[in-house]
Amino acid sequence: MEKIDSHKVYVEPFHVDFTGRIFMGVLGNHLLNAAGNHSTRRGWGIGALNETQHTWVLSRLSIEMTEMPRNYENIEIRTWVESVMKLFTNRNFSILREDGTPMGYARSVWAMIDIDTRKPCDLLTLYDGDILRYVVSEEENVCPIEGHGRFRFNNAALVRTIQPQYSDIDINGHVNSIKYVEHILNLFPLQQFEKGIRRFEIAYKTEARMGDELSFYVQEGEHGEKDVEVKKADGSVVCQSRIIFFE
């Protein structure tokens, strides 16, 4: 089997913002679907893993676009495994126009956990290291965007506190990873999105559930980037995010 998968996506009218660009959360959802299909086709998708009491957990996602897909556009998402370490695997993506030219790229980091103990598993030995067969060569790994950044919150202001609602909760009873993207971007005024988002990063730290109050703190970085930290009432960090808007 090929190492790189192709996932075709049509940009639906209700999935674009007021500028006609796809919502970042919707694009993120398409990336996660592409990742899920890639894993499933190779025998280590969620379904197969559940049988052995394992599941994938998304730890980081960074998306960087030169241009966002627009209403009615047909795009292609390509995804592959860049590398596998003991506790994490790096999966990359490219997002292509219908003519095959790149519009952007994404990087992600995943861990595998035991469903009962919630402890991470050794990816190098799981299924006899089968995943290693799909690691692409350096030449195939074309993902010319920066790695995941580091967050340092020292000056963040509380902007909003929300109670998760029915539509936030996924089949595992957790706040849906993609819904955080939506809530985080909703912190900013509409005009901020006129030129679009150049880069969006998110780091998932702790899962939240119905009943967990989520507070959103924002600080602006040296280069105009917006850093957002989401915390529960007990102070534990749920996720951290960085948004770089086009100037």
Q: Which stretches of the chain bind its own copies, using CB under 8 A?
A: 12-14, 16-20, 23, 25, 29, 32-33, 36, 46-47, 71-72, 165-167, 169-173, 176-178, 182, 185-186, 188-190, 193, 210
In whole angstroms, what is the distance from residue 59 CA to residue 68 CA? 23
User: H helices of the chain, where?
Assistant: 24-41, 46-51, 177-185
CB of 12 to its own copies, least distance (A): 6
CB of 174 to its own copies, least distance (A): 9
The residue type found at 183 is H
In whole angstroms, what is the distance from residue 135 CA to residue 193 CA? 36
In whole angstroms, what is the distance from residue 37 CA to residue 42 CA? 9
Residue 50 vs 155, nearer CB to its own copies: 50
Residue 169 vs 237, nearer CB to its own copies: 169
CB atoms within 10 A of CB 195: 12
CB of 230 to its own copies, least distance (A): 16
Beta bridge partners of 245: 197
Residue 13 vs 235, nearer CB to its own copies: 13
CB of 104 to its own copies, least distance (A): 20
Residue 50 vs 52, nearer CB to its own copies: 50
